Chain A
């Protein structure tokens, strides 16, 4: 009985030892087996996802570097401009360069979180590059958590909350929520039809301000309500990321993000001015 146990234990040890040896062997050889092109494709794909989901320049650059290095690249140089990302990766006597168009799309923090997890897993266990590729595709195709109608209502409520923070009365909060929800619904529709930011900002701000302005007789703080009703369009993430880029010594990208924000704010202003003229304020 006792002898049987010892034998079993010995067999188990042997299996564990073999597995480790095998894994060690795999890691050492597989790293070298990946073609540089495949490494670059995966790294650029990860970087593109980060860039499109609202990551700052610094974060996107880090993600590309870490992905390429985890898979065996020795030297990684990254270029991130406003609308392109690119990288050159090197290993011994090989060198590979690639670029991708990277339009600013929107913000998706769930995707950024999954991307972080994905990268950590890849760094811990780089032998599964094929799995990593599949996992990345899955992350890219993951659905957003919240249905559009819910987002529309809550963004409207956000603007109502802004009215409250600015000292508006309950009527002002209600009408701001209503106007901003309508504006947000319009914005979603226009974005779906691929209108440029300048166009959707002016149309959506017009709708939001016009609807809020029509109800202005119900409140004693109409100015607060109308100022808050267009705040859902203020490009908060580009503004913060732009300033962070400047402070982080990514001057060009910082200026580009600020300029993007300025164009959206100009669009909002045009919508506001049209609405105010029609309302006769």
Chain B
């Protein structure tokens, strides 16, 4: 039912392509890859242990956010460059795609057909996507939100 663990390593190239697009400094690339793989693996672990996608994403993003912040502090860099690049493979692109697909289905259906199922599908996938994005953002911003006095990052 689950994809093999080795598949998780694909999170590294998924993050690195976007890291190049975001012009991350070359010295920081490897850390983005490591964080991406560990974040994605944590989410898979939560899913295997019968957790849900949103909770798994939250835990993974918390891990990414905290490690990125600690690492960036030691090297005097903004933590977001690691955190955002590493979070990209967890953006719920597939849910967004399915939601939009369902909405487009409404455009192509015949005049008498009942579009309830399509609307429900679009809504469910859309809400799921929004919750995953919020969980991601909360995890990444957690060091800043929970320690506001530090005034950095």
Contact = CB atoms under 8 A, between A and B. Distances in A.
Interface of A: 54-56, 58-59, 62, 107-113, 116-117, 120, 144-146, 150-151, 154-162, 164-167, 227-228, 230-232, 234, 236-237, 239-244, 246-248, 265, 268-269, 272-273, 276
A273 B107 contact: yes
Task: Give me the 6 closest cross-chain CB pairs, A-B, nearest first.
Answer: A158-B17, A243-B137, A161-B14, A109-B81, A164-B10, A269-B100
B103 A269 contact: yes
A215 to B, nearest CB: 18
Contact of A167 (B3, B28, B136, B141): B3
A161 B81 contact: no
A234 B94 CA distance: 10
A84 to B, nearest CB: 22
Given A117-B76, A236-B84, A155 B18 contact: yes
Q: Which of B8, B24, B137, B153 has the most CB of A within 10 A?
A: B137
A111 B141 CA distance: 20
Nearest to B94: A227
Contacts of A117: 76
Contacts, number: 164
A220 B7 CA distance: 18
* Main DSSP-derived SS at the A contact region: helix
Given A165-B40, A231-B93, A244-B140, A154 B16 contact: yes
Interface residues of B, number: 55
B23 A108 contact: yes
Contacts of A236: 18, 84, 87-88, 91
A264 to B, nearest CB: 11
A159 B17 CA distance: 8
B97 interface: yes
Contacts of A113: 25, 28, 77-78, 81
Interface in B88-113: 88-89, 91, 93-94, 96-98, 100-101, 103-104, 107
